[in-house]
Amino acid sequence: MLVKWIRCTVVDRRGFERGQRKWAGLLDEPGFRGQGGGWSRRQPDVAHVFAFWENRVFYDSFMAREHDRLAAGQSGMHKDMQVKLFEYRFDVKTGFEPHFTEADVVRVAHSRVYEDRTDHFALMQKRVWNPAMAGSPGMLRGVFGEAPGREFLVLSMWQSSAERGKYRPQSIARLSARAETESDVEELTGDVVQLEPSWTV
């Protein structure tokens, strides 16, 4: 599975949201698995969109044919767009499906890992972080993906921001120490995204 992460700064919020609803046209695309997104809790003018495809072949076919027509509906309504593609590696909680319907919040963590630490980083995600997240109230499911250039994405879906808050203060420092995160991670960025139900495809 291919995971696409789009982040941009929106300059025309109403027009952008109107254009976002037109991506419902993706439902007819072969290999399309699901899409959702919303607004950053930290920067209200920043939008995140997450799309899932069966594989790169289906995705490339869509990009060559229909993408530009759908994207035209949001032309001029955003700036500073960043697009990253990640190959699915494993679930953060068992049975991942790219569905956004029960989720209120998505947590996204993007890491660039030191060259000789990628295997250790992935192993610690499985052994340390995944069990902690899977056992947290309100955590629905998640996915761990990898991109060229030693980049990794952890995407987790939560039932509510209040439930996600219970996970943070109690154990982040302890889990980081156990996972040796500082030794693995060269650069870490993240965000908490308030999902917009009307963007879900």
The 10s digit of each residue's pLDDT in 35-57 is: 999 999 999 999 999 999 999 99
Q: State the pLDDT at residue 186.
A: 97
Contact between 127 and 193 under an 8 Å Cβ cutoff? The reply is no
Average pLDDT across the chain, whole number: 94
Q: What digits encode the pLDDT tens for the residues 80-90?
A: 999 999 999 99
**Residue 31 · residue 59 · CB < 8 Å:** yes
CA angle 159, 112, 145 (to 5 degrees): 50
Residues 64, 62: Cα–Cα separation, whole Å:
5
Supply the pLDDT for residue 95: 87
Residue 145 has what pLDDT?
98
For the chain, domain boundaries: 2-196
| Mean pLDDT on 75-97 | 95
Question: pLDDT for 110-134, tens place per residue?
Answer: 999 999 999 999 999 999 999 998 8
List Cα–Cα distances, 152 to 130, 132, 148, 167, 174, in angstroms.
Answer: 14, 18, 9, 21, 21
The domain defined by 2-196 carries CATH number 3.40.50.620: no
Tell me if 191 sits within 8 A of 108, measured CB to CB.
Answer: yes
Predicted confidence band at 101 (pLDDT cuts at 50, 70, 90)? confident
pLDDT score at 170: 57
Contact 45, 8 (CB under 8 A): no
Stated as kind and residue range, the H or E segment containing 170 is helix 161-179
- For residue range 132-162, what is the model confidence (pLDDT) as tens digits? 988 888 899 999 999 999 999 999 999 987 6
